[in-house]
């Protein structure tokens, strides 16, 4: 069965449907980040449905450290644990090990590191990452990789990309064993490989060609949005995209602003995730069709309008800017929930607008109209 069905193309941009054990995802899609099996800002899984979220993303590293993937398996897997019946993608833990954990040591087998919670010494390699993700029972598991910081020396990037390839071969083997295991939490779990190579186009392309040969259900571009310029990121995506299978979904990890997403879609990307809507929301930065506003601004003190008068989210349908500003100034938790809810709805409906514009042949005009405007501070 081909799980990825292309519907329409507009240049490199594509709209499609991706079938998972927990339902069909319409792409391009933005995944809503539920790091520790919960969305930040007191947003519940019921809320997520009202916010038009198609797929949640949880973090292997965090859930392994706390509450533990064995516990989650025992309680029926992550879907049941967090009471979310739509698709879940889990990352591999690699990114968190390289960004959060202390005193890490990389070897061929994997990485030794200290937990950021209690300092306990842990080890994770491809087999461990795949086992944890199997215990969580996500619909999409990500291969274990090294996320190299930018800039890094070319020699190191090449060696790391080669090791990440060898880790992918081991990830694939472990994944295939896990899904066939008796009592597997999610026997339909799929594995996405991750392309690395910093901003060296030739390393990226060579790596992409090799991992494409492994014929996995999907492929991600990892290691971007970690310090390079937007233009360097876009150029790298273009260089890699030519080597990516056309009939598999592509996921640009950890990206980004609404403008970045539009530019990513224009370059053939189908999946996105980013902490930005939740993190910016918690600081009062709210996305609107006219740009990003700061609700703490004095000028909203007496405004009885919603955040975005054109928005149909549960917050904009009911509450005023003045009230939300008050909640922020008074440091009420409800402020966080409203801001995060609005921003996630904005991202999720941005994606449905993108899909519609691809389907109706108007994507290029839509991109030109919005790509700068949406990222502007107003």
**Distances, alpha carbon 203 to alpha carbons 174, 236, 361, 362, in Å:** 26, 11, 34, 34
Distance from chain centroid for Cα 90: 9
CB of 98 to a second copy, least distance (A): 21
Q: Which is nearer to a second copy, 234 or 319 (CB)?
A: 319
Q: What CA–CA distance (Å, rounded) separates 201 from 195?
A: 11
Q: Residue 236: name the closest of 249, 223, 251, 254 by CA.
A: 223
Cβ-based nearer residue to a second copy, 41 or 264: 41
Please choose, from the candidates 200, 133, 203, the residue with its C-alpha nearest in 3D space to the C-alpha of residue 163.
203
Compare residues 173 and 302 and give the one whose CB is closer to a second copy: 302
Contact 234, 224 (CB under 8 A): no
359 as an active site residue: the answer is: no
CB-wise, 38 or 212, nearer to a second copy? 38
For binding to a second copy (CB under 8 A), which residues are involved? 36-44, 46, 62, 66-67, 71, 74-76, 81-83, 301-302, 304, 314, 318-320, 322-323, 325-327, 329-330, 332-334, 336-338
Active site residue 91: yes
For the CB of residue 78, give the shortest distance to a second copy in the complex, in Å: 10
> Looking at beta carbons only, is 17 or 52 nearer to a second copy?
52
Shortest separation between residue 42's beta carbon and a second copy, angstroms: 4
Q: Do 172 and 216 touch, CB atoms closer than 8 A?
A: yes
Among candidate residues 91, 139, 270, 308, the one labeled active-site is: 91
Residues 6+ apart with CB under 8 A from 127: 110, 170, 174
* Alpha helical stretches, state H, 213-247: 230-241
**Closer residue to a second copy, CB minimum distance, 71 or 121:** 71
- Angle, CA 156 vertex, CA 154 and CA 157 arms, to 5°: 65
Residues 321, 378: Cα–Cα separation, whole Å: 14
Would you say 261 or 338 has its CB closer to a second copy?
A: 338
Main-chain dihedrals φ then ψ at residue 10, nearest 5 degrees: -140, 95
d(C-alpha 72, C-alpha 81), whole Å: 6
**b/e sequence 293-308, b meaning 16+ C-beta within 10 Å:** bbbeeeebeebeebbb
Hey, what long-range contacts does 108-115 have (CB within 8 A, 24 or more apart)? Answer: 108/163, 108/166, 110/144, 110/167, 111/146, 115/65
Selecting among 47, 273, 308, 375, the annotated active-site residue is 273
Residues carrying an active site annotation: 91, 273
């Amino acid at each position: 069965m081909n799980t990825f069905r292309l519907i329409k193309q507009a240049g490199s941009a594509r709209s499609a449907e991706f079938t998972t054990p927990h339902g069909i995802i319409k792409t391009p899609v933005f995944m809503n980040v539920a790091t520790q099996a919960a969305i930040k800002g007191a947003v519940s899984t019921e809320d997520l449905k009202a916010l038009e979220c198609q797929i949640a993303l949880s973090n292997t590293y965090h859930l392994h450290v706390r509450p533990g993937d064995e516990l989650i398996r025992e309680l029926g897997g992550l879907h049941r644990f967090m009471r979310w019946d739509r698709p879940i993608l889990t990352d591999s833990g690699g990114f968190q090990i390289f960004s959060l954990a202390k005193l890490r040591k990389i070897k061929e087998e994997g990485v030794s590191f200290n937990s950021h919670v209690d300092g306990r010494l842990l080890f994770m390699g491809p087999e461990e990452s795949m086992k944890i993700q199997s215990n969580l029972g996500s619909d999409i598991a990500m291969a274990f990789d090294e996320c190299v910081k930018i800039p890094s020396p070319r020699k190191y990037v090449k060696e790391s990309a080669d090791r990440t390839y060898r880790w992918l071969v081991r990830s694939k083997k472990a994944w295939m064993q896990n899904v066939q295991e008796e009592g597997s939490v999610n026997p339909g779990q799929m594995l996405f490989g991750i392309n690395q190579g910093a901003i060296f186009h030739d390393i990226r392309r060579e790596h992409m060609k090799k991992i494409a040969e492994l014929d996995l259900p999907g492929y991600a571009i990892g290691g971007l949005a970690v310090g390079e310029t937007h233009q360097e990121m876009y150029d790298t995506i273009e260089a890699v995209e030519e080597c990516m299978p056309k009939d598999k979904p592509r996921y640009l990890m950890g990206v980004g602003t609404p403008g970045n997403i539009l530019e990513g879609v224009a370059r053939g990307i189908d999946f996105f995730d980013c902490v930005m809507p939740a993190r910016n929301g918690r600081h009062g930065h709210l996305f609107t069709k006219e740009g990003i506003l700061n609700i703490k601004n004095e000028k909203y003190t007496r405004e009885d309008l919603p955040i975005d008068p054109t928005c149909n989210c549960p917050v904009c349908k009911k509450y005023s800017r003045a009230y939300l500003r008050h909640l922020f100034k008074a440091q009420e938790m409800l402020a966080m929930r409203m801001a995060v809810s609005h921003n996630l709805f904005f991202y999720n409906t941005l994606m449905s607008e993108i899909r519609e514009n691809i389907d109706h042949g108007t994507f290029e005009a839509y991109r030109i109209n919005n790509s700068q405007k949406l990222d502007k501070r107003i």
